[in-house]
Structure formats: structure tokens, C-alpha cells
Amino acid sequence: MTELKGKSVFSGIAIGKIAILKKDNQSVKRIHVEDTAGEIARIGAAKETAVEQLKALYEKAVKEVGESGAMIFDVHQMMLDDQDYLDSITNMIETQNINAEYAVAVTGDNFAKMFAEMDDDYMKARAADVKDISERLIRVLQGSNGEGLEADEATIVVAEDLAPSETVQMDKSKVLAFVTRFGSSNSHTAILARTMNIPALISVDYNDEIDGKMAIVDGFEGKMIVDPEEDVLEAYKNKHQEEVEKRRLLQELKGKENVTKSGKKINIYANIGKVSDVANVLQNDAGGIGLFRSEFLYLEKDTFPTEEEQYQAYKQVAETMAGKKVIIRTLDIGADKQADYFGLDHEENPAMGYRAIRICLNQPDIFKTQLRALFRASIFGTISIMYPMIISVKEVRRIKEIVEEVKKELTEEGIPFADVEQGIMIETPAAVMISDLLAKEVDFFSIGTNDLTQYTLAIDRQNAKLDNIYDSHHEAVLRMIKMVVDNAHKEGIWAGICGELGADTTLTEEFVKMGLDELSVTPTFVLPVRKIVREME
Ligand code: PEP
Ligand code: MG
């Protein structure tokens, strides 16, 4: 038994035989040609054929993995039309009197290298795409169409790297898992693997001897166990079976509405902490993002993230969610979320201390940087902004003044931004009690039941000793939720829950009855909550 470590890009368990994917080595010879115009014409014709192939792949992918997963083949078509790429090929043919295949191979290598050296992870991952389109062109020029991916039985596909077109061309029923030595979690292959619901690992250092051997891919732990011992295999078979059953039941709910039998609807969104969590949101069919805890962008760094870094992150999330609502919460640092570079003093009661919106209002430079990034990103999708730890109308009015200053600056700089919905978190008893007044000031409420429970019951949510009495089902908390919803509706705004209680399926029915408009939960809870909603009267 050998255990190979890797990095998981999609969870799940797969058990089966390994098939190492050996690609036909595209040997491309350099040949001297006199008729350069003829070679250039061959490129034109090959490009047409390649585009036809990509269109067919796009159609296949739309059916198998949906519109967003298929997008890559649209991108490939655009790449084939890229003037710099084509100019490089024709220029080489003309100036060096070389054959079309060779010019494509060299151009493909050059462009791939150029992408690979870029700083941006997304652009880096485009190296695989440019290689992919170049290999396709060469195959067409050489008159070959096979990509050597046929297999009789379902296998764990192991490869050096996988091009998106290879991934999607595989017969899904024949692939148990993807395992590669190279590739990145940003690559489209990884994205497709996630959309295809197949466990996938990258960065696995394997040797050819594992070909044909029995193995387990553990996408939860990020490892592949080759030649597993009997008891290990048995344990994984059970785990796998449980997974299959769970997924089967929930998958049936994908694409279905969150509607009760009597027709009452509720939005079910997902909570995220980092950009890469968006894959999980889509995977679980959430209607939007109800809470993006933006402070994680600050926590994973040892200095303040710049406006540009934040802008890129928010833009990527908004774009990937393709118009679905993305509610981004402004910085909620302090208390249990500490970053040294903020230089926050030690406090006796940090949960009730200098944190969240209090820092932002006291240090508007930090706040403005984030607001600028958010408004700049707002044109790439449907972004809403949400402010944490609110206790007064005065705070909200001050926030609005700062927002106006930011918008004015952007307008003066000629930077476009969209109309952004702005709401607040209701997570202090004070906010609950004045929710009638706050509702006149904002576009929505999102109830943070984690903090609301701690402040209402006077129980530190971090104190493990008090876990048994930290009761989010406490009548006081439930009454507060009802009060907030009613006050929101009186002013014609919507109210949701983004604290953990939103995912508590024993309360789903009560929440729907209370009139909550939205529940934002950990991505894996979207379908379980949908299930309860659909089962209720
Ligand atoms: C909450 O308090 O319920 C909440 C959603 O915010 P956080 O858990 O990040 O404090
Ligand atoms: Mg909170």
C-alpha cells in the first residue's frame, strides 16, 4: 500500500483501477517550404475545422456541465482568432520558410511560456489553454482526430496535466476521478472537474508503475492510496457508499425552486470566506452569495490588501456568479479575527470591543479602500454591500456619508460603478430593538445569529465551557428574528439570516412561516435546506 499526497480540487471518494493517460506525442518536424502562401492557407483551413470542433465540444459541454462549464470552449474559439497568435504563426512561416505545424508548435510554446510567467494565477492557468488550442490545430493539420482517451471500464484517470478539451471529451461514465501531477486549482480543468462532480487531485507525484493498479482517491483528505490493504479498502467502500447515497438524494434537488407545497418561496444563498469557495456555491446550486466574509482577504495577508487586490477578488466573485446576487460584508475584523498588522490593543472583552464597523468608522482610510474596490467591482455582476455590528442609526448615516464621498471620488476620476444595494447585519440586540428605525435607512437586513445569540444570552460564543447553554433556539433569539422580519417588511425591505442558525433544518419551517426572505448557509447546506422547504406545506 502506498499513499500519495496531493492537493484536492474537488472532494469525494473514488475507488477503482488507475489508467495513466499517455498522450500521443505530437512529434512536429521542422520542414523547409517554398510555398509559404500555401502553408498560410493551410492554417486558415485548419483554423476553420478547429473552430467547428470547438463548437461541437461547446454543445456537448453545455449538455453535460452547463453553460458556465462550457464557456472555456468559447474562450478557445476566441483564442484561435487572437491576432497576435495568428500573426506570430504567419510571420514565422514567411520569414523562416517553415511548415505550418512547426510554426504553430513554436508559437504555442512561446505563448504558453508567456502566460505561465505572469503573476496573476488566472492568467498563469491560461498556459494550458493556449497549449490545448495549438495541439488541436496541429492535429487538424496532421489529419489526425483521435485524442486517445478511450477506456473500456471506468478508471481513475492519472495524467501529467489535462487540457480542458480532454477533460470534457472523456465519457463521464468512464471517469472515476482525475489525478494530475501539474495543473492549478484555477485551471478550467479543475473547474470542470468540480462541475462534473468528480473527485480531483493535483500536485500528485506518481510513477508509471501505478498504471493499472487498484487505488482509492480521497478528495476530502487530498490523497491517493495505491494498492490499499483490505481493511482500508473496506472502510473506504463504506464511506463511498454513504457519499453516493447522500449525493444522489440531494442532486435530485438541483435546479429546483425553493418553494413550499402551497407556493411560498424563499431565497437560499451561500456563505463564503474566500474567492475559491465560489465553486462550492455553484456546485450546490445556491441562488446567490448571502455573506462573503471579506475579512478573510485581510487575515490571509501580513499587510493590508490593496484596493487593486480587493477589486480583483470581488470582481472575480461577481463575474463567476454571473449576475446572481453577491452580498459582500465589509471588514469584520477584531474579536476572534485578529491580524497583527492592524496593531489592535489587547482588550478585556474583545467581542464587545474595537471591531468591525467601529474600526472602519474610526479609520476611514481602511474603509474607503475597501468601498472603492467594492464599487469598482460592482459593474461586473450584482454586488450588494453589507455592514456588520451596527448598533445605531447614527452609524448608518455616517457610513452613508462615507459611501457618498467614495462615489463622488470615483465619478470625478471617471471610474464607473453600478447602483449597489446596501444593507446591514442585525447582530446586536440594539439593532433588533431599533430595527423599525434602521429599516428606513437601508435596503435589507441580514441577521447574524451567531453574534446575536452571544450578545442576547450574554454568552461568549468562543467559550467552550458554555457551549451547552449557548442556545440559538432560545425564545428570546427567535422572537428577535420575528421582530426584525416584521419591521423590515413594514418598510418594504427584505430580511434574511446569514448566521449558522439559517442552516438549522429543524427551524427551516419556522423561518419560512416567520416570513424570512432569505437564508444564507454553508454551501453544502443549500440542498438540505431546499429539501425541507419543498417538503413543507
Ligand atoms: C454572525 O454573527 O451570525 C455572522 C454571520 O457573522 P460572523 O459569524 O462572521 O461573526
Ligand atoms: Mg457576526
Q: Domains for the chain: give ranges and CATH numbers.
A: 2-21+148-232 (3.50.30.10), 36-142 (1.10.274.10), 260-535 (3.20.20.60)
Q: Is the pLDDT of residue 185 over 70?
A: no
Using the mean position of ligand 1's atoms as its centre, give its distance from the Cα of residue 66 in Å.
33
CA distance 371 to 269: 23
Contact 445, 502 (CB under 8 A): no
Using the mean position of ligand 2's atoms as its centre, give its distance from the Cα of residue 351 in Å.
10
The closest-lying atom of ligand 1 relative to the alpha carbon of residue 295 is: 9
Ligand nearest to the CA of 500: 1
The rounded mean pLDDT for the chain is 90
Give 187 or 21, the one with higher predicted confidence.
21
The closest-lying atom of ligand 1 relative to the alpha carbon of residue 427 is: 2
The closest-lying atom of ligand 1 relative to the alpha carbon of residue 447 is: 3
Distances (CA, A) of 522 to 271, 314, 479, 509: 5, 19, 24, 18
Distances (CA, A) of 394 to 98, 372, 400, 431: 73, 22, 10, 12
CA neighbor of 4 nearest in space, from 238, 234, 201, 154: 201
- Stretch among 54-63, 150-159, 406-415, 488-497 having the lowest mean pLDDT: 150-159
CA distance 211 to 214: 9
Q: Is the pLDDT of residue 328 over 70?
A: yes
Give the contacts of 234 (CB within 8 A, at least 6 positions apart).
none
Q: Specify whether 360 is catalytic.
A: no
Residue 186, pLDDT score? 54
Which among 291, 293, 297, 519 is the best mutation to test ligand 1's pocket, defined by most ligand atoms within 8 Å of the CB? 293
Q: Is the pLDDT of residue 368 over 60?
A: yes
DSSP states of 280-317 as a string? HHHHTT-SSEEEEETHHHHHTSSSPPPHHHHHHHHHHH
Q: Specify whether 188 is catalytic.
A: yes
C-alpha cell belonging to residue 144: 489526425
198-250 per-position pLDDT tens digit: 899 988 999 999 999 999 999 999 999 999 999 999 999 999 998 888 777 88
16-70 per-position pLDDT tens digit: 999 998 766 567 889 999 999 999 999 999 999 999 999 988 888 787 777 777 8
Mean pLDDT of 368-387: 97
Using the mean position of ligand 2's atoms as its centre, give its distance from the Cα of residue 407 in Å.
27
Using the mean position of ligand 2's atoms as its centre, give its distance from the Cα of residue 335 in Å.
10
Give the contacts of 465 (CB within 8 A, at least 6 positions apart).
none
C-alpha cell belonging to residue 479: 422572537
Which residues have C-beta atoms less than 6 Å from ligand 1?
Answer: 291, 293, 332, 427, 448-451, 498-499
- Stretch among 12-21, 120-129, 130-139, 384-393 having the lowest mean pLDDT: 120-129
Residue 149, pLDDT score? 46
Give 334 or 536, the one with higher predicted confidence.
536
Q: Is the pLDDT of residue 147 over 70?
A: no
Residue 204, pLDDT score? 94
Helix-helix angle 121-141:100-116, to 10 degrees: 170
Question: 155 - beta bridge partners?
Answer: 17, 175
Q: Whose alpha carbon is nearest atom 4 of ligand 1?
A: 448
- Stretch among 89-103, 131-145, 391-405 having the lowest mean pLDDT: 131-145
Mean pLDDT of 335-349: 84
Residue-wise burial string across 28-41, b where 16 or more C-beta atoms lie within 10 A, e elsewhere: beeeebeebeebbe
CA neighbor of 444 nearest in space, from 285, 325, 278: 325
277-302 per-position pLDDT tens digit: 888 898 889 999 999 999 989 987 88
Ligand nearest to the CA of 272: 1
82-133 per-position pLDDT tens digit: 988 999 999 999 999 999 999 999 999 888 888 888 877 777 878 888 988 9
Using the mean position of ligand 2's atoms as its centre, give its distance from the Cα of residue 427 in Å.
6
